[in-house]
Amino acid sequence: MRLNELTIREISEGFKEKKFSSRELTEACLSAIKEKDFEINAFVTVDNEGALESAEDFDKKLSRGEEVSVLGGIPVALKDNFNTKGIKSTCCSPILRDFVPPYDASVVKMLKGNEMVMVGKTNMDEYACGGSTEHSYFGTTKNPFDVSRVAGGSSGGSAAALASSMCIYSFGTDTGGSVRQPASFCGVYGMKVTYGRVSRSGVTAMASSWDTISPFGRSAEDIAYILDAVSGDDYYDSTTPGVEVPDYSEFLNKDVKNLKIGLPKEYFDRGIDKEVSETVKYAVKRLEGMGAKVEKISLPMTKYAVAVYYITMPAELSANLERFDGIRYGKKPEKDSKNLIDYYFQARGEGFGEEIKRRIMMGTYVLSAGYYDAYYKKAQKVRTLIVKDFEKAFEKVDVIMGPVSPIPAFKIGELVDDPLSMYMADALTIPASAAGLPALSCPVGLNSDGLPIGLQIIAPQFKEGLCIQAASALES
């Protein structure tokens, strides 16, 4: 096995036993980028020099016998909406195409405290709006399993980079499914954390009451180590509540005897691809064989989640993107403007891509006078009922399982001109987001075309450990 295909534990042990250095590992990842990324297009910025420098610093620290983190010296890729000091952070939007942030996001600072080696910044749908990474200023990211298909989105670059061994782990953001769905399309693990578990400070906001900072990894074990490093309160994000952070690695290799699994009938309904549904059920059967108890449940509000999301998210998005006006943030318009207001119109008209304009328009519409009660307020109420659905279910079961996406990776261009169908592809990831729950996308097999299928494990708030425990059992 090549160095860049190893897991975090294998690497961390390899470093300690001096089998290889961080520099060698980093070089292996950088060469994979060089070899494959012209086709995959997972990265928008590659930091060769910076990565090698951090790798050498780590190697020196290790050789001096200093204490190092389990993530130390291990190459990571970050979605391009993470602010990285001195390195372009564009959100893959034309309006930010030259933006170099003057500070690091809190999560980047935490990773730097863990001897981070960052190989680069990854491609995404503009401002994290999309489910396919086709809405990027820098072109579409291809699926490593079949380059005629999408890698998923919006964190498609981070998922594809990991699946093609260009890094060892990566980060994205999951608002309505943007980590879980690309993880499922690219055959890697993607953990959407509880809302507030990881600080959002310094990561460009999309929909503030939904956004989470969430990792991709090669195994449940890798996910546990990553969460250990980045979870917890942050002074700069007041929505990180003072909930104790457990040691996530303690949930690994625990048995699942008597773990109560709920299978919502709505997650296996019509519209779910047959192979997806069968593969997911087979994974659940394996857990049942290990002593887990499986129960059929119902989450009747599931069918309303897409409508709730595509009202409240654009509303929050349109408010958050207000700051991109070509003055506080963003590029000056090419076209000459008569006055200040004309300047705003031009800067935003030129600077935003089509999907962003569409969503800002939707958000502005549902918040505008005369429509607020009918759409926004109504959606916020139905959101309450989605939360209650889950509360009721978790009185009976420990975790809920179902597919991540109703279909495997679709063809590039297939849904791009049909926004509503594209939005419906998020139908099974949005509900957990609406309730702020943690949910892990776990690769459980391939379909007959060789495309990966993901199992979704949803747990009550701040019980990420249960997702890791169940996924870890499936690995054994």
Partner 1 sequence: MISDDQVRYVAKLARIALSDEEVNKFSEQLSKVIGYMKILNEVDTKNVKETHQVTGLKNIMEKDIVNPSKCKRDELLECTELPVDSNQIRVKHAIK
List 38, 244, 274, 341, residue binding partner 1 (CB under 8 A):
341
List 52, 294, 382, 407, residue binding partner 1 (CB under 8 A):
382
User: Could you say whether residue 311 binds partner 1 (CB under 8 A)?
Assistant: yes
Residue 48 or residue 209: which is nearer to partner 1 going by CB?
209
- Look at residue 245 and give its three-state secondary structure: coil
Pairing relation of β-strands 213-217 and 260-264?
A: unpaired
**CB atoms near residue 188 (< 10 Å):** 29
Contact 176, 439 (CB under 8 A): no
Residue 131 or residue 187: which is nearer to partner 1 going by CB?
131
Applying the rule CB under 8 A, the residues between 418 and 447 that interact with partner 1 are 419-420, 423, 434-436
User: Could you say whether residue 70 binds partner 1 (CB under 8 A)?
Assistant: no
Which of 106, 154, 318, 433 is labelled catalytic?
154
CA distance 234 to 93: 28
| Bridge partners (DSSP) listed for residue 121 | 45, 78
- Look at residue 467 and give its three-state secondary structure: helix
Stretch 90-129: interaction string toward partner 1, x if CB under 8 A: ---------x--xx--------------------------
The amino acid that residue 13 corresponds to is E
User: Could you say whether residue 304 binds partner 1 (CB under 8 A)?
Assistant: yes
**Catalytic-residue membership of 31:** no
Reported as type and span, the H/E element at residue 274 is: helix 274-289
Pairing relation of β-strands 117-122 and 75-79?
A: parallel
Residue 216 or residue 352: which is nearer to partner 1 going by CB?
352
List 241, 291, 413, 450, residue binding partner 1 (CB under 8 A):
241
**Catalytic-residue membership of 79:** yes
User: Could you say whether residue 69 binds partner 1 (CB under 8 A)?
Assistant: no
Stretch that binds partner 1, among 12-20, 147-155, 216-224, 305-313 (CB under 8 A): 305-313
Instruction: Tell me the CA end-to-end span of the chain in Å, nearest whole number.
Output: 20
**Catalytic-residue membership of 93:** no
Minimum CB–partner distance for residue 322 and partner 1 (Å): 8
List 7, 69, 380, 447, residue binding partner 1 (CB under 8 A):
380
CA distance 86 to 106: 15
What Å distances lie between residue 251 and 224, 247, 290, 464, CA to CA? 8, 8, 16, 9
Q: Give the list of residues 6+ apart from residue 389 with CB closer than 8 angstroms, or none.
A: 299, 300, 301, 302, 431
CA distance 56 to 201: 29
Residue whose structure tokens are 């709920």: 262
CA nearest to 111, candidates 245, 213, 184: 213
Size of the site for partner 1 (CB under 8 A): 67
Residue 192 or residue 218: which is nearer to partner 1 going by CB?
192
Q: Give the list of residues 6+ apart from residue 193 with CB closer than 8 angstroms, or none.
A: 174, 212, 213, 214, 227, 231, 438, 464
The amino acid that residue 378 corresponds to is K
CA nearest to 58, candidates 41, 47, 73: 73
User: Could you say whether residue 339 binds partner 1 (CB under 8 A)?
Assistant: yes
User: Could you say whether residue 412 binds partner 1 (CB under 8 A)?
Assistant: no
Minimum CB–partner distance for residue 445 and partner 1 (Å): 32
Minimum CB–partner distance for residue 34 and partner 1 (Å): 31
Pairing relation of β-strands 146-150 and 260-264?
A: unpaired
List 245, 387, 407, 446, residue binding partner 1 (CB under 8 A):
387
User: Could you say whether residue 385 binds partner 1 (CB under 8 A)?
Assistant: yes
Applying the rule CB under 8 A, the residues between 181 and 220 that interact with partner 1 are 194-196, 209
User: Could you say whether residue 350 binds partner 1 (CB under 8 A)?
Assistant: yes
Residue 101 or residue 454: which is nearer to partner 1 going by CB?
101
Residue 82 or residue 216: which is nearer to partner 1 going by CB?
82
List 328, 334, 395, 448, residue binding partner 1 (CB under 8 A):
328
The amino acid that residue 357 corresponds to is K
User: Could you say whether residue 20 binds partner 1 (CB under 8 A)?
Assistant: no
CA distance 221 to 296: 28
CA distance 96 to 100: 9
Minimum CB–partner distance for residue 420 and partner 1 (Å): 6
Which of 79, 121, 142, 192 is labelled catalytic?
79
- Look at residue 399 and give its three-state secondary structure: strand
Minimum CB–partner distance for residue 337 and partner 1 (Å): 6
Q: Binding residues for partner 1, per CB under 8 A?
A: 99, 102-103, 194-196, 209, 236, 238-239, 241, 301, 303-304, 307-308, 310-311, 318, 325, 327-329, 331-332, 337-346, 348-350, 352, 354, 357-358, 360-362, 364-366, 368, 375, 377-385, 387, 419-420, 423, 434-436, 461
Known catalytic residues are 79, 154, 178
